[in-house]
Amino acid sequence: MAEKLTLTKSMAMYEEALTLVPGAVAGIRRPYNFVQGEYPIFFTDGKGGRITDVDGNEYIDYLCAYGPIIIGYREEEIDRAVQEQVNDRGFCFSLTQPIQTDLIKKLIEVIPSAEMAALVKTGSDATTIAIRVARAFTGKTQIARHGYHGWHDWCVEVKGGIPQKFYEDVHEFHYNDLDSLEQIMKANKDDMAAIIITPIGHPLSAPVEMPKPGYLEAVREMADHYGALLIFDEIRTGFRVALGGAQELLGVTPDLTTVGKAMANGYAMAALVGKKDPMMVLADDVFLSSTFFPNSDSIVAALKTIEILQRDKMLEGVAKKGDMFAKGVEKAIEDTGIPAVFSGGPWMPFITFPRDDEGLYRKLRTEFYTQLIRRKVFLQPYHHGYICYRHTDEDLQYTIGAIEESLRSLKKMM
């Protein structure tokens, strides 16, 4: 059994934050999304594939800021490019700086569905404007969805403060289940504006899923049959599973694509890209504006990130590291005999426990992630992780060993 970490400062800061911020910290970063009392709540810094909390504990980090860190924390080449932009030219103006064009040209070059692009700041921005574009272009209202898609009214899972009319035209279907999608399409056959889907399934708290053979192709055909746009939500998969996203890897091209997270290695950058005809509704028919959307600091970061990913073939490196990691974890699970499931290899690793009628899986999950964080491996019990380029072979091998030790500690519960 590993010893409990010292988290005195984190807990004190949390108690203070509760008096200043509703919930102390925002949403998914709150303690109940981890193991309360075992995980830190505040970090001070990070470098490469590691992060340090306010109590001085250093962890190998596989959450990667929930996905933006594709290369590593504090990448000097990226940070230096941003600093030069800020110091030499500035980054926030009344009009747009020309570097916007450079990034959009690069997006069009590398993403199969991209003929035009609109730059925003967050994944929620991108998915929400994608829905607005789809409705304006098709003149229809209904949306079929699978995925997270963000915190805006049309898709957020927690409905507090949101009138039903804001989401009553959005219908959820199950990934890898064509029947559930077709039922929605048939029931709203004359009014389907779009299907929005994560091309690789990553539901909350459940194993990551690759598409079954022919699944995405059939979704593409169904969208065309009902006159709906196909939107790929590639906020997590873009600039991670391939430079052009899962659509490049899997060979299915949507009408619109949302990208973000890994696109700028931690800087606030996202985009809606897509085919020219639907994108052109943004010229006159659909309003999109923000004081900060054109800020060039994150545009520079995105350009430099993509340049480095291409130049150094880093995504091949990430996949190679992830493959090795996946094989090691799968072997550890097999060797220990614990009923755990590994999914998401090589890009988005996740260890889950199959549900059972007695609820043992909850206890196994809590104890496993308790033991893992005590071994200073930062993964999340309810959300898949990520592999970044700066995770070293030593990091990965240590983590495989820590996972095996943590699994073995569960035998007393079986």
| Confidence (pLDDT) at 184 | 98
| Residue 45: band (very low, low, confident or very high) from pLDDT cuts 50, 70, 90 | very high
Residue-wise pLDDT tens digits, 64-120: 999 999 999 999 999 999 999 999 999 999 999 999 999 999 999 999 999 999 999
| pLDDT exceeds 80 at position 362 | yes
| pLDDT exceeds 90 at position 355 | yes
| pLDDT exceeds 90 at position 1 | no
What pTM, to 2 d.p., does this model score? 0.97
Residue-wise pLDDT tens digits, 267-289: 999 999 999 999 999 999 999 99
| Confidence (pLDDT) at 205 | 86
Residue-wise pLDDT tens digits, 301-316: 999 999 999 999 999 9
What interhelical angle do 314-336 and 296-311 show, nearest 10?
80
| Confidence (pLDDT) at 256 | 99
> What gap in Å lies between CA 262 and CA 267, rounded to an integer?
9
236 Cβ contact partners less than 8 Å away, ≥ 6 residues apart: 67, 198, 200, 202, 261, 348
Write down all domains in the chain, each with its CATH number in brackets.
Answer: 8-73+314-413 (3.90.1150.10), 77-311 (3.40.640.10)
| pLDDT exceeds 80 at position 213 | yes
| pLDDT exceeds 90 at position 414 | no
| Confidence (pLDDT) at 115 | 98
Beta strands of 98-242 (E only): which ranges?
116-120, 142-146, 170-172, 192-197, 229-234
Region of 96 please: left (phi>0), alpha (psi -120 to 50) or beta.
beta
CA nearest neighbour of 140 among 228, 74, 65, 41: 228
